[in-house]
Amino acid sequence: METMIGIIGGSGLYDIDGLEDAKWVSVETPWGASSDQIMTGVLDGLKMAFLPRHGRGHVHSPSTVPYRANIDALKRIGVTDIISLSATGSFREEMAPGDFVIVDQYIDRTRGRDKSFFGTGCVAHVSLAHPTCPRLSDILAEAAATAGARVHRGGTYLAMEGPQFSTLGESKLYREVWGCDVIGMTNMPEAALAREAEICYASVAMVTDYDSWHPDHGEVSVTDIIKTLQGNGEKARDTIRALPDLIDRERAPCPHECDRALEFAIMTAPDKRDAELLKKLDAVAGRVLKGTP
């Protein structure tokens, strides 16, 4: 299988530079329309697909991002690995605005989002003990360091619903009691859906601010966030440009079995499965449903 990297860009990153044969394509999915068209192309011999999470012009709030359609669309066009870039607040003094944190854990506090491709008629349970791919995360950390970012390897991301920022009480709870490192609004259910779709997933949290816990920071300032976003956006583009030197064009099986997450996950007996749901699962779960290697 040929490697194809899917880049999901968050706030401040709505396109990528330098793609050869770049074109915006529309991908139909049974889960509705994706956030936007997907830009496909080749960067120094590495196939890439770019999807702006909020849409060009930032039209989707964190709560209305069509997460299932986004992951299905990327899987449908052949993406083997997803790299997520997103703006976050920080709960740690050492994780300062402008720093990049390579996320390895999540606490999901979102509400009312569609969090699984599976359900009544085809029940499946995948493991999320380690929700990001260590192999891909290592590559992402090296690419970010090459881009000049100050990189922190490992961190727990608190996924909040939004769109409002945290209260001071919430911020202190997440930092002091729960031990979270960064806070954002979009990595869940995105990471979980990528696992269900058997796509390796790695995330860089681009710190824009200290959340409201910081005694010298006060309430979150959107003006300051936008200023930091601009600097982070350039480092994010440089991170993407560093990837072709670090990733093999020939896609070997994932040593952490992200690409085999559904191997024993589907619980519903074949004769009890819902035919309509199975049709919708043709891309994300086709490998196991069709019995292909």
User: Helix, strand or coil for residue 90?
Assistant: strand
What CA–CA distances, in Å, run from 2 to 64, 211, 249? 32, 41, 6
With b meaning 16 or more CB within 10 Å and e meaning fewer, what string describes 161-184?
Answer: beeebbeeebbbebbeeeebbbbb
44 close to 21: Cβ distance less than 8 angstroms: no
Tell me if 204 sits within 8 A of 152, measured CB to CB. Answer: no
156 marked as part of a ligand binding site: no
Residues 6+ apart with CB under 8 A from 249: 2, 3, 45, 46
| Structure token pair of residue 150 | 């100050």
- The answer to whether 216 is annotated as binding is no
86 labelled ligand-binding: yes
Flag whether 252 is marked binding. no
**209 carries an active-site annotation:** yes
Q: Catalytic residue among 211, 238, 259, 274, which?
A: 211
Tell me which of 209, 245, 274, 282 is the catalytic residue.
Answer: 209
Intra-chain end-to-end CA distance of the chain, in Å = 12
273 known ligand binder: no
Ligand-binding annotation for 54, yes or no, is yes
> Where do the H-state alpha helices sit in the chain?
67-76, 134-146, 168-172, 187-196, 222-242, 275-280, 286-289
Is 17 annotated among the ligand-binding residues? no
Q: Is 185 annotated as a binding residue?
A: yes
CA dist 267 to 120, 124, 198, 264, Å?
11, 6, 17, 8
Q: 210: annotated binding-site residue?
A: yes
Instruction: Give me the amino acid identity at 209.
Output: D
Please give the biggest Cα pair distance in the chain. 61
Among this protein's residues, is 21 annotated catalytic? Answer: no
Taking the alpha carbons of 28, 20, 249, 8 in that order, is the dihedral positive or negative?
A: negative
Q: Does the annotation list 11 as a binding residue?
A: yes
Q: Phi then psi for 175, rounded to 5 degrees? A: -80, -50
Annotated binding site for phosphate: 11, 53-54, 86-87, 186
Positions marked active-site: 209, 211
Annotated binding site for substrate: 185, 209-211
Annotated binding site: 11, 53-54, 86-87, 185-186, 209-211
